[in-house]
Amino acid sequence: MDKKNVYVLIHSPLVGPLTWKLVAQELRQRRLDVIVPALEDSPTSPEPYWKQHAKSVSQALSQIPKETALTLVAHSGAGPLLPAIRAELANPVNAYVFVDAGIPGDGATRLDLMKSEDSDWATQFQEHLENGGRFPNWSSEDLREIIPDENIRNQLVAEINPRALDFFTEPIPAFEGWPDSPCIYILFSEPYKGTARQARESGWQTYDLESGHFHMLVDPEAVTDLLIESVSNLPR
């Protein structure tokens, strides 16, 4: 395994590891090291979801030598987890890469982050959850436009993990001094333009690949190319 870098591709807790399957295959074909941990949690656990997810990543990386550096790549709802994941790891981190993902705020809930991006929509969303609703509840037809391949789309839908209010209202910590490594933002879709703007204003390298939210399942080669390019463009 390359001591210089292992790509750790982290899926949103709302879906599953299929999200990164095709990009992982691309990276391996290019002789690059990659791991796609599965975020696991139990509703009966006394630990918050974010802690269970951070531990899932740590356990998946337990066999990697501690001197091996990692590039943590988060999609969508995995973005706010990156500081918590980092706190569980002994390895150095080359970079944090946010792919159409939320940006952490110390102690912010997922609902807080949504309200900062689109207050009106988030208020309606909160009401939906408070009335017993869960999210996401996408069907294959709902995702047809952004994931044209029916087989891939159905596999993604099979991994959907609808969440209730408690998931969206738990505070997620970010340790003092985060980010402790360079950050990159890769924008895919319209809903994350405000978040990408925030990243740019924070001095992060930002890239725009106008597409759909799950573009890594549509054009994994292009996403892999941009991922490698963005990391290689970081100052050494």
pLDDT tens-digit map of 178-195: 999 999 999 999 999 999
- Residue 202 reports pLDDT greater than 50: yes
Look at residue 198 in the predicted model and tell me its pLDDT: 95
Average per-residue pLDDT for the chain: 95
Task: Report the interhelical angle of 110-117 vs 119-130 (nearest 10°).
Answer: 140
Give the phi and the psi of residue 8 in degrees, each rounded to 5. Answer: -115, 105
- Residue 1 reports pLDDT greater than 70: no
pLDDT tens-digit map of 157-176: 999 999 999 999 999 999 99
Look at residue 4 in the predicted model and tell me its pLDDT: 81
Look at residue 43 in the predicted model and tell me its pLDDT: 84
pLDDT exceeding 90 applies to what percent of the chain? 92
Look at residue 26 in the predicted model and tell me its pLDDT: 98
Q: Structural domains in the chain?
A: 6-108+173-232 (3.40.50.1820)
- Residue 99 reports pLDDT greater than 50: yes
Place 3 in a pLDDT band, splitting at 50, 70 and 90: low
Look at residue 120 in the predicted model and tell me its pLDDT: 87
pLDDT tens-digit map of 110-129: 999 988 878 888 899 999 99
pLDDT exceeding 70 applies to what percent of the chain? 99
pLDDT tens-digit map of 45-72: 999 999 999 999 999 999 999 999 999 9
List the one residue out of 191, 173, 87, 200 whose CA is nearest residue 72. 87
Length of the chain: 236
